[in-house]
Chains A and B, each alone.
Chain A
Amino acid sequence: MEKNEKSGYARRDFLLGSTAFAGATLAGAMLPTGMALAQQAKLKIGLMLPYTGTYAGLGVAITNGFKLAVEERGGKLGGREIEWFTVDDESNPAKAPENANKLVQRDKVDVVIGTVHSGVVMGMAKVLRESGTLWINPNGGAGAMTGEACAPNFFRTSFSNWQTTHALGKVLKAKGHKTAVFITWKYAAGEEMMQGFKEGFETEGGKLTKELYVPFPQVEFQALLTEIASIKPDAVVAFFAGGGAAKFLKDYQAAGLKGKIPLYGSGFLTDGVLEAVGDAGEGVETTLHYADGLDTKKDKAFRLAYAKDFKMQPDVYAVQGYDAGQLLAAGLDAVKGNVADRAGVIKAMEAAKIDSPRGQWTLSKAHNPVQDMYLRKVVGKENKVQGVAWKALADPARGCKA
């Protein structure tokens, strides 16, 4: 970046011709402070998140979380002021490369933060791998991003889909369940979560009796709920999110399955929907990297500050956005804001210990969080923490050669 600006100056001086002398003296005078000047140039951060459509709420939470992390550092990262750029990715994978390009090529940002939808993440990956721009993904859990498509400039502060269900195998075993049915949408994220659970459950000697898929993004579950009733597994494990999750929880209860076959899930099943489902979620146990009632100092402070700033309660997405800010700060602090020292930034981020509201975590070699997975239980309107289901769970990062 700094280099570009310098050459820009040089050309303008050349064009000015007669004032070239004055220009040269000016440049000479500024030489000793040249380094400091470069540091003061604003750091360009590009947010590529959904601001319209189904995931708009998540986009806002992540943005808020990120901005809170920046605000706590006096509105600066690595000592540099920030210039924000925002692109609404509409959760549309077909436009993903083009949208990522807006930030990379039009706005020439130093860092890209995004996004929610897995398909869009994959489209961004294509562009950002080629441009080499620093990228922190604050949500989308596509395994490939920190798997076969991993790259030195790719970082994630959220989870891999596999991680969110893997610990459930242990949980089910401890409860004495020997068979289970997994139900989710038929799309990549659902299949990856199913895989994560299956591996975890089978190493514990459990048996995944059946995988049930609902066409995405349909929310008519009655046929498969009936099928579950006829299979009679020891437990049901589910992944849905947003409106689909709310409807599933209600349907599960209405079908009378709730008291009969215990329901477990990826934490997203019960996140952000408890207001909507009444008592249908009560008692459902899930695993996720964040929970209510963690009761750590960091978490309390974060929640208080977030609620004060944005007049709403933070959720797991806000935490992931917040940690994206923290991770970036760790990287930039190490190089004193000189983002051009990419290797330095990356090295510092790789080594960072993030003191997150969710608890401390570090990055795996593939740049995905190695983090504690909490077992949570729905009590009232909260996903109350029950304990740690898996200490420092790392994604297997299959196919990552970095």
Chain B
Amino acid sequence: MDFAFFLIQLLNGLQYGLLLFLVASGLTLVFGIMGIINLAHGSFYMVGAYLAWSLSSLTGSLAAAILLAIPLTVILGMALERLLFRHLYQRDHLYQVLLTYGLILVFEELRSIIWGDDVHGVVVPALLNASIPLTDNLSYPVYRLAISGVCLLLAAGLYFLIQKTRLGMMIRAGASNRDMVQSLGIDIKLIYTLVFALGIALAAFAGMINAPLSSVFPNMGSQVLIICFVVVVIGGIGSVKGAMAASLMIGLGETFGQVLMPDFAGMIVYVLMAIVLVWRPEGLFGRA
């Protein structure tokens, strides 16, 4: 690998890492702030991708599809919180695991009934459908870079929301002491509904914006599920900063792993996770 290709692989790794962050960001939020272990996170990712596909083939524009789909997923998230998750806050986390496992099955079958089992593609928006040449035979798609930009914006936005806004303050307080916040007259129920809906919408948004790259296909949610948990846990639960660091670490690890030690590429992520957690049991940026 000469230096130019080393740099390109570095870019690949960073870009892949940012993509991972995009998918995992919603999980950090719901997981870290509400303490909900949402196994169905991948399903919402899938729902987003399928919405992007079906709405963009209806409207002819991905941007329009995303604008239409986001309110839908927010409503979906709020409804699910009201109808299902609300009843489980006081119970053992494992019942959330059970519930969301059931949700995975339900969503996967509904997907099959509504949208079928075929593979579909979403067209890259014309505006971003270009490539930047890197070497004589390799170029970089602009759309990938655009996604990276969106990821960075999103990370900054989330950080700002949680650390700097009044809502964020309430959220943080609610995460550490639910009862106290409630006794202060803050409508903690509403906050939880909002945070949950935001988390779901983020997962779905990741599916939508990634759809032109990933294509849309059955079971696509379960493929990203585990990697999302890995990202969140390595980074430290609830830490946006940590999720970003972990995403980049995994992105780089996988990229260079596939190139430098292809025989072990599959397990690199897990080796990384095991090392980090044995070394720092609360993740990179977790609160002890």
Q: Is A277 a contact of B121 with CB atoms below 8 Å?
A: yes
Chain B residue nearest to A53 in the complex (CB): B219
Q: How far is the CA of A276 from the CA of B53 in the complex (A)?
A: 10
Q: Is A254 a contact of B117 with CB atoms below 8 Å?
A: no
Q: Is A278 a contact of B123 with CB atoms below 8 Å?
A: yes
Stretch at the interface among A119-127, A172-180, A213-221, A337-345: A213-221
Stretch at the interface among B7-15, B29-37, B78-86, B232-240: B7-15
Chain A residue nearest to B142 in the complex (CB): A254
Question: Which residue of the partner chain, among B119, B143, B254, contacts A246 with CB atoms under 8 Å?
Answer: B119
Q: How far is the CA of A276 from the CA of B121 in the complex (A)?
A: 4
How many residues on the B side are at the interface (Cβ–Cβ under 8 A)?
Answer: 48
Q: Is B16 a contact of A229 with CB atoms below 8 Å?
A: no
Q: How far is the CA of A224 from the CA of B12 in the complex (A)?
A: 10
Stretch at the interface among B156-164, B165-173, B209-217: B209-217
Closest Cβ of chain B to A249, distance in Å, is: 9
**Bitwise interface map of A from 254 to 265 toward B, beta carbon under 8 Å scored 1, else 0:** 111100110000
Chain A residue nearest to B120 in the complex (CB): A276
- Which residues does chain B contribute within 8 Å of A255, judged by CB atoms? 138-141
Q: How far is the CA of A139 from the CA of B92 in the complex (A)?
A: 45
Question: Which residue of the partner chain, among B116, B138, B143, B262, contacts A226 with CB atoms under 8 Å?
Answer: B138
Known: A52-B108, A256-B137. A223 touches B121 (CB 8 A): no
Q: Is B265 a contact of A213 with CB atoms below 8 Å?
A: yes
> Which of B119, B217, B265: most chain A Cβ within 10 A?
B119
Question: Which residue of the partner chain, among A60, A219, A223, A261, contacts B137 with CB atoms under 8 Å?
Answer: A261
Q: Is A229 a contact of B135 with CB atoms below 8 Å?
A: yes
**Bitwise interface map of B from 246 to 265 toward A, beta carbon under 8 Å scored 1, else 0:** 00000000111011001001
Q: Is B144 a contact of A254 with CB atoms below 8 Å?
A: yes
Closest Cβ of chain A to B53, distance in Å, is: 9
**Bitwise interface map of B from 114 to 154 toward A, beta carbon under 8 Å scored 1, else 0:** 00111111010000000101011111110110000000000
Does B184 sit within 8 A of A, measured CB to CB? no
Q: Is B254 a contact of A223 with CB atoms below 8 Å?
A: yes
Known: A226-B138, A242-B119, A256-B138. A212 touches B262 (CB 8 A): yes
Does A18 sit within 8 A of B, measured CB to CB? no
Question: Which residue of the partner chain, among B1, B5, B16, B220, contacts A220 with CB atoms under 8 Å?
Answer: B16
- Which residues does chain B contribute within 8 Å of A71, judged by CB atoms? none
Does B182 sit within 8 A of A, measured CB to CB? no
Q: How far is the CA of A261 from the CA of B137 in the complex (A)?
A: 8
Closest Cβ of chain B to A166, distance in Å, is: 24
Chain B residue nearest to A274 in the complex (CB): B121
Closest Cβ of chain B to A317, distance in Å, is: 12
Which residues of B, 230-288, contact A by the 8 Å Cβ criterion?
254-256, 258-259, 262, 265-266
Chain A residue nearest to B129 in the complex (CB): A254
Q: Is B258 a contact of A223 with CB atoms below 8 Å?
A: yes
Q: Is A242 a contact of B258 with CB atoms below 8 Å?
A: no
Question: Which residue of the partner chain, among A57, A214, A254, A260, contacts B118 with CB atoms under 8 Å?
Answer: A57
Does A355 sit within 8 A of B, measured CB to CB? no
> Which of B13, B136, B138, B223: most chain A Cβ within 10 A?
B138
Does A384 sit within 8 A of B, measured CB to CB? no
- Which residues does chain A contribute within 8 Å of B144, judged by CB atoms? 254
Does A230 sit within 8 A of B, measured CB to CB? yes
Question: Which residue of the partner chain, among A52, A54, A213, A278, contacts B217 with CB atoms under 8 Å?
Answer: A54
Q: Is B215 a contact of A226 with CB atoms below 8 Å?
A: no
Q: Is A219 a contact of B117 with CB atoms below 8 Å?
A: no
Does B112 sit within 8 A of A, measured CB to CB? yes
Does A369 sit within 8 A of B, measured CB to CB? no
**Bitwise interface map of A from 235 to 255 toward B, beta carbon under 8 Å scored 1, else 0:** 000000011011100110011
Q: Is B223 a contact of A186 with CB atoms below 8 Å?
A: no
Question: Which residue of the partner chain, among B140, B215, B254, contacts A243 with CB atoms under 8 Å?
Answer: B215
Closest Cβ of chain A to B48, distance in Å, is: 15
Q: How far is the CA of A225 from the CA of B258 in the complex (A)?
A: 11
- Which residues does chain A contribute within 8 Å of B133, judged by CB atoms? 256
Q: Is A56 a contact of B255 with CB atoms below 8 Å?
A: no
Does B179 sit within 8 A of A, measured CB to CB? no
Which residues of A, 7-49, contact B by the 8 Å Cβ criterion?
none
> Which of B217, B265, B266: most chain A Cβ within 10 A?
B217
- Which residues does chain B contribute within 8 Å of A251, judged by CB atoms? 213
- Which residues does chain B contribute within 8 Å of A56, judged by CB atoms? 112, 117, 218
Q: Is A54 a contact of B121 with CB atoms below 8 Å?
A: no
- Which residues does chain B contribute within 8 Å of A277, judged by CB atoms? 121, 215
Does A272 sit within 8 A of B, measured CB to CB? yes
Q: Is B213 a contact of A250 with CB atoms below 8 Å?
A: yes
Q: Is A226 a contact of B117 with CB atoms below 8 Å?
A: no
Q: Is B215 a contact of A247 with CB atoms below 8 Å?
A: yes
Chain B residue nearest to A257 in the complex (CB): B137
- Which residues does chain B contribute within 8 Å of A145, judged by CB atoms? none
Does B187 sit within 8 A of A, measured CB to CB? no
Q: Which 8 A-B pairs have the closest CB atoms?
A: A243-B217, A256-B139, A276-B121, A215-B266, A57-B117, A229-B138, A254-B141, A246-B215
Q: List 29 A-B contacts (CB under 8 A).
A: A54-B217, A56-B112, A56-B117, A57-B218, A60-B117, A215-B265, A217-B223, A218-B223, A222-B15, A223-B9, A223-B254, A224-B259, A229-B5, A229-B135, A229-B138, A230-B1, A230-B5, A232-B137, A242-B217, A243-B215, A243-B216, A245-B119, A247-B213, A255-B141, A256-B138, A257-B138, A273-B121, A276-B120, A278-B121
B→A interface (CB under 8 Å): 1-2, 5, 8-9, 12-13, 15-16, 108-109, 112, 116-121, 123, 131, 133, 135-141, 143-144, 212-220, 223, 254-256, 258-259, 262, 265-266
